[in-house]
Structure 1
Amino acid sequence: MQELKDRILAEGEVIGTHILKVDTFLNHQIDPAFILRMGKELADRFAGAGITRVLTVEASGIAVASAVALSLNVPVVFAKKKQASTQSDVYTSQIYSFTRQESVNITVSKKFLPADDVVLIVDDFLAHGEALKGLVDIVRQSGAGLAGAGIVIEKLFQRGGAALRAEGMRIETLAAIERMEPGKIVFA
């Protein structure tokens, strides 16, 4: 998506060689109109896949996942990083957060992910693939079908997407980055 690449180049900040800060429009401050356009683009890429539910993990993926779900006219569910005291019957998967440098258990209430669903996973970033693997695990636990994953920004050099694609998973990415360093971003 050229508009996304342009925004990344204009507003993104590369920290080191692995962190891309896009907090002006995606994961701190949100540009709602832009989020809706990205959501429509991802929804269009999965048109005809029979998607009945969108799944993401809190918190940064929620805005884009909501935009995708709105375009598809289906509900969106987000995995919680801390199980609420009101949640008792849940699917759980452990993921490692490279951003936070810690392992967390993500949970989804079973009532929000029935076995007859066809799920599209949506997230803001794909790097090592830990969050995506955890969400795939939860979908598999539920017995639901998996249409694939829609990702806003994929850092190809961190290989998470390659590993999941090798397992046969369909992943659609709006902006794929081959490499980056301060002052330079190279898109695929």
Structure 2
Amino acid sequence: MHTLDGYNGIEREHSTLTFSGMNGGNYVYHGTCSKGEFFVIKNSSLNDFIIDKSMGTINVYEVFKWPLTIGEHHDFSFRDPLASVQMHVSVEGAEKITAPAGSYDSYRILTKGQWHNANSSASGPLKEVIWYAPEISHIIKSEHTDHTNKSSIYNWYKTEMLSYQPGEFRE
């Protein structure tokens, strides 16, 4: 995967994500990037989540509700140490999407909502478009924008899959 600055197309981050296995019914991925190694954990619905040990809570970024159906929509809230987010998710349609990893039939999923900084009065709208390819059970591409409460764009970035290689099945 790589993340590009939405304004100038310059790569902001380059990372490799490898499926490591299952742990407690969750998918565990090992990643490397310029900042070092990291882990990504997704629940059985392929949604990212954060465990907040200080509060004893699990916060799920619930983009996916199965089965994905065009026209389906739902709302969710998410909180991490930096911000709280209220989101509306809609499965807008199906389209063929091309990224460096190839072309895939995908679902176009729109997430829109509001973010609120946990440590200040900063807040604003955010939007992310996600293209999910069921053939490989992964997000192929996404584009994220969020704004300050003064309506200026605060972040704009695009993420795309550079390559995909299926792993070996092990029992």
Give the TM-score normalised by structure 2.
0.31
Q: Which has the larger radius of gyration?
A: 2
Give the TM-score normalised by structure 1.
0.30
Identify, as 1 or 2, the structure richer in strand.
Answer: 2
Identify, as 1 or 2, the structure richer in helix.
Answer: 1
Higher relative contact order (CA 8 A, sep 6+): 1
